[in-house]
Each structure stands twice: as structure tokens, then as C-alpha cells.
């Protein structure tokens, strides 16, 4: 355990050992990493703990510098644990380089089945007494971190003092098909809004998609395809994403001795945006976070997309309509075009066909909830369906919602202290 300073905070690196399978506590162990953050002038104070659960799945906790974003507000009164959930960040990694240590695809899929929110919550409950001496702590869950927080409320409410959720209220019972059936119309609205803001991008997107369909270039081993290009629409789910997408598109082409080509600048930007090298669990486990009961997720985003033919690139290019971008969806072709995912294609297929996912949420426990809970629900959130979120909010006793269209899915980052302030006020009945 080592401590060091950044502007306004003292940081301490903490390492924990937890069972891979919590039903076998004496079996294989994995490591978790968490970074403690506390205000400089309060490093020796007896402060309540706040554990931050990042969105994803598959992302380590944010690497803040000093008191950036919401962290500055949090350390005014909390000792914060920025937890790298299992398989992410500096916790025992799970990627194309490490997963072969488990064996073949079947062994890899069985291993990854332990990397959902149920076991993330069990990890938290094993860590909590080591830090708090047994006292309950507060949880701040962003996006998938909010899904974990709802699981926490279902399975171990005794460990919770308060729960703050931003853009992360899951449906309690929707199948992955239902999630994506609700998502594609939202995505289409976001794309339409982008084209209304930047009408010049309609033709530019058509030109790029047509070029990729004809040439199929590669960048550092990553195959650049029209479908991969469409997935850049995920940027439209953040507050400044539409503007960033526009700037990316304006660098698309360059004139060369051989004619007009897709620029190296654009190809590198597209490759970087589409690469899962830094977060492969996002691709492997994304649909698994919706898996409950005996029905496989079965590449839901790919299957449901067929119900929305307006997203087909070839059809759009054959006509006069705009090429629609997509969003937070994972498809089988991701495991063909991305060198970070290619060796894991069979593992992904096994996870998609799995039919023994445990139930994640307990409606009876949530209906009897005694923990103060507040949730920011971003109206028309591109990533989380508002109707699903509000239905869940109504199912959790005492949960207070803040429904706003001021922010996109990244409101906690973009709104920083103001978002956290509002949620804290709600759980304390100060508003």
C-alpha cells in the first residue's frame, strides 16, 4: 500500500484478494485494485466511505488528476474508493493475452461468467469490512455501475448507507432483445439531431461509407468496414459527442497522386475509436449484463437490428436517404475486424449462447428497500432507456429520481460537482 499526493488530494493504492467464485471462498483467488482518494487536509480524519463503480462493463475506474470532475465535491466529505472492478484496470486482467491461461474458449467463457454485477457486489462486500471496520458505505454508480448498485440493493442492502445512481437504472426483467428494441429508435433520433445540427455531414457520411464498402482498408491490423464506421455513432451519447463526431468526419479525405483517398488521420481516429484493446470485457460481457434465467442473449443487438432496415448501409447507399450511425451495440463482426477481439470470437459465441445466467435483481427486496437512493435519469439517454429506468425507479421503495434533459449519458463527468450535489441532497431529503 503506497500513498502519494496530487493537487488537493492524497491518493493511496490498495490491493485486495477475492475469490474468483464466491461460492468457493477457498478456491482460486484474483486481485482487485482500488485507489483511495481523500482531501489533503482530511487525510487523517475519520470520514465515511464512498465507493465509485464505473460504467461499462469492462472499464477501470476513472484516472482523475487531483480534484477533477465530481471527485473534488466527493472528497469534501468522503474518503473515496475508485474501484477497478474485476477484470479491469489494475485488477487481475481478462483479455486476449491473459484469457488463454484459462484454457480453450469453453474454459474462458466459464471464467468470464463470474464477471457480472452479482460478483462485483460480492467483491464489494468482502472489501467493505476491511476499509470501514464493518460500517456500511455509500455507493456512486455510473451507468453499468448503477446496474451494480441495484444488484447491491437486491442482495446486500445491509452494506449500504446510501446509493447514488447516474444514468444507470436497469430494467429488472427485460431481455436483451427488449433493451435493443427500445434502443434503435433512440439512436435514430440522436443521428437525426446530429444531421440537423451538421447537415453537411449527411453527404460526408455517405461518402465515407461508400469508400469503406469499396476499399475495405486496414489500419494496424484493424479492418475498417462500413459497419464499424456506423458504430462511431456511440459518440452521440455524450454531451459534446456530436461536435467531436463532426470534427472527426471533416478530416476524412485527402487528395493523393492516386486520387482521393481516406486520410491516414481519419483511419487512425476510426481505428482508435473502434478498438477494444483497452476494454475487451465491454465487448465480451456487454449483452451478458442483461442475461437472466434460461434464455440466451444470442447476439441480441445484431438480431434486433434486422427489425430496423433503415440501419442497413447497402440499402441506404442504394437510395437517397442518409446512412444511419449506430450506438452502444455489440455485434459478431466486432470479433472479426478488431485484432484485440479476434482470438476471442469463439469465447464470445459461447457467452452469447449461455442459458444459465443467475437472476440479478430481487423485486421483493427492492420493494421493501430501506436504503436512501437517488438516481439521475437523463431524458432520452442514448444508452439507457428512460421508460425502463423510470419503471425500475418506481419499483424501488423510497428511490428519488432527478429526471433531466440538461445532460447526456456522461452527465456525471460533464456536470461534475453539481450532479453529485443534487443526488446527495435527494438522499438526505434536503430538496
State the catalytic residues: 143, 356, 409
H/E/C letters for each residue in 341-370? CHHHHHHHHHHHCCCCECCCCCHHHHHCCC
Q: Is 103 exposed, middle or buried (0-12, 13-18, 19+ CB in 10 A)?
A: exposed
In the chain, what is the straight-line distance between the N-terminal and C-terminal CA atoms, in Å? 40
User: In 3D, which of 362, 256, 280, 5 has the Cα closest to residue 115?
Assistant: 280
Alpha-carbon separation of residue 32 from 115, 279, 304, 392 (angstroms):
12, 16, 36, 30
User: What is the phi/psi pair of residue 274, to 5°?
Assistant: -90, -10
Classify the C-alpha dihedral 190-196-200-206 as positive or negative.
positive
Indicate the pairing of strand 222-223 with strand 373-378: unpaired
Classify the C-alpha dihedral 130-132-137-143 as positive or negative.
negative
**Residue 405 DSSP symbol:** S
- Helix 176-197 and helix 200-215, axial crossing angle in degrees, nearest 10: 120
Amino acid at each position: 500500500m503506497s500513498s502519494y499526493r496530487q493537487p488537493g488530494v492524497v491518493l493511496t493504492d490498495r490491493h485486495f484478494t477475492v475469490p474468483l467464485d464466491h461460492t468457493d471462498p477457498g478456491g482460486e483467488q484474483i486481485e482487485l485494485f482500488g485507489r483511495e482518494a481523500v482531501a489533503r487536509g482530511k487525510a487523517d480524519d475519520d470520514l465515511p466511505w464512498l465507493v465509485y463503480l464505473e460504467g461499462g462493463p469492462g472499464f477501470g475506474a476513472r484516472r482523475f488528476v487531483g480534484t477533477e470532475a465530481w471527485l473534488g465535491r466527493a472528497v469534501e466529505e468522503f474518503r473515496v474508493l475508485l474501484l477497478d472492478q474485476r477484470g479491469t484496470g489494475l485488477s487481475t486482467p481478462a483479455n486476449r493475452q491473459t484469457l488463454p491461461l484459462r484454457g480453450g474458449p469453453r474454459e474462458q467463457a466459464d471464467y468470464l461468467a463470474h464477471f457480472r454485477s452479482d460478483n462485483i457486489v460480492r467483491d464489494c462486500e468482502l472489501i467493505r469490512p476491511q476499509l470501514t471496520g464493518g460500517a456500511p458505505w455509500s455507493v456512486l454508480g455510473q451507468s453499468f455501475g448503477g446496474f451494480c448498485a441495484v444488484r447491491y440493493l437486491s442482495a446486500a442492502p445491509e452494506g449500504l448507507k446510501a446509493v447514488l445512481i447516474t444514468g444507470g437504472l436497469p430494467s429488472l426483467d427485460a431481455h436483451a432483445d427488449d433493451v435493443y428494441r427500445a434502443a434503435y429508435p433512440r439512436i435514430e433520433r440522436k443521428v437525426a439531431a446530429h444531421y440537423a445540427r451538421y447537415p453537411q455531414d449527411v453527404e460526408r457520411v455517405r461518402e465515407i461509407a461508400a469508400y469503406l464498402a469499396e476499399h475495405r482498408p486496414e489500419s494496424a491490423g484493424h479492418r475498417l468496414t462500413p459497419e464499424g464506421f456506423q458504430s462511431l455513432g456511440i459518440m452521440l451519447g455524450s454531451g459534446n459527442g456530436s461536435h467531436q463526431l463532426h470534427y472527426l468526419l471533416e478530416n476524412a479525405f485527402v487528395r493523393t497522386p492516386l486520387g482521393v483517398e481516406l486520410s491516414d488521420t481519419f483511419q487512425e481516429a476510426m481505428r482508435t475509436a473502434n478498438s477494444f484493446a483497452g476494454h475487451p470485457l465491454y465487448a465480451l460481457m456487454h449483452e451478458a449484463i442483461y442475461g437472466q434465467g434460461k434464455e440466451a442473449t444470442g447476439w441480441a443487438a445484431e438480431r434486433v437490428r434486422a427489425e430496423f432496415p433503415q440501419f442497413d448501409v447497402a440499402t441506404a447507399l442504394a437510395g437517397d436517404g442518409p446512412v444511419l450511425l449506430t450506438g452502444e451495440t455489440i455485434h459478431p463482426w466486432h470479433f472479426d475486424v478488431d485484432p484485440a477481439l479476434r482470438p476471442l470470437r469463439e469465447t464470445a459465441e459461447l457467452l452469447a449462447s449461455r442459458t444459465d445466467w443467475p437472476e440479478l435483481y430481487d423485486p421483493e427486496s427492492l420493494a421493501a428497500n430501506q436504503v436512501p437512493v437517488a438516481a439521475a435519469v437523463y431524458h432520452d439517454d442514448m444508452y439507457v432507456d428512460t421508460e425502463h429506468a423510470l419503471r425500475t425507479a418506481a419499483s424501488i421503495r423510497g428511490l428519488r429520481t432527478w429526471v433531466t434533459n440538461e445532460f447526456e449519458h456522461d452527465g456525471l463527468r460533464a456536470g461534475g460537482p453539481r450532479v453529485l450535489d443534487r443526488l446527495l441532497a435527494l438522499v438526505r431529503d434536503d430538496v
